[in-house]
Structure 1
Amino acid sequence: MGETYDPGVEADRLGARVIEWAAPLRPGENGLYLDDFRLIILRPKLEPIAQRSVLAHEVEHARSHDRPTRLTKPRMERLADERAAARLIDDDRLDDLMRTYPSCAARWAVDLQVSPHLLTVHLDATGRMIPDLTDDAIGA
């Protein structure tokens, strides 16, 4: 899907309200979906790429009406990541970037407007090479 996919529009279409509110989020957690309330909570002041990626992930929980338990949470999180990445990333554009900038994965993420995490998930899910996207590897 790629650039034409807007997770905010999709949240509206699904009837999920989106708010920014840090209080219910654990440290390191940037988003949360509450199915009982059809509510997506995002950490305030996320950078635009992070916000787009987190919102797309939470929209996938809304689409599936996820209600995780201790046993199902890891699988639900992985599926939400894979589905969000597939909607956000245009595979033809990714292939072009991989050919043009073969050793600059950070550029792929920025150009595709997705988080390094979702890019890595997508590369893994589609059987592509997974580069090192740590801050040290990209010179951040």
Structure 2
Amino acid sequence: MTATPPPGLPDIDPEIASQLLSDKLGIEVTDWTPQRMVATMPVKGNLQPYGLLHGGANAVLAETVGSIAAALNAPEGRITLGLELSCTHHRAAKSGFVTAVCTPLHAGRSTATYEIVISDEQGKRTCTARLTCILREAVPGGH
């Protein structure tokens, strides 16, 4: 993720921050507002055996931006937890970067659902994902 996380996210324990899957995959959040989150991810290093972007990497990218968006939109005192992720892989990406654009479909008090469109450098849609998060009360002193 970016060196500077979007404002409004909870502080992350430094030990946990050094082990984030999003960092290992090279995901970088490049733009964020409550209505739109954008992130990029390199294809290189995230391949499956046929030399194509791994579908699981798409899922991690989608869940990363959707979860951050849900956290930014969550009511005060609530945390977000992924409930369901669905990914449809439309075409292969073989090189360069993919870009995820996340927009809310529903941002409620107890659930939030986001559409994430992932495209290659030519602007061709490679994956469409939908993430639903549950929003629950934060437990004092922990999650």
Query: Does the TM-score normalized on the shorter chain lie above 0.5?
Result: no
Structure with the largest fraction of helix:
1
State TM-score, norm by structure 1: 0.29
State TM-score, norm by structure 2: 0.29
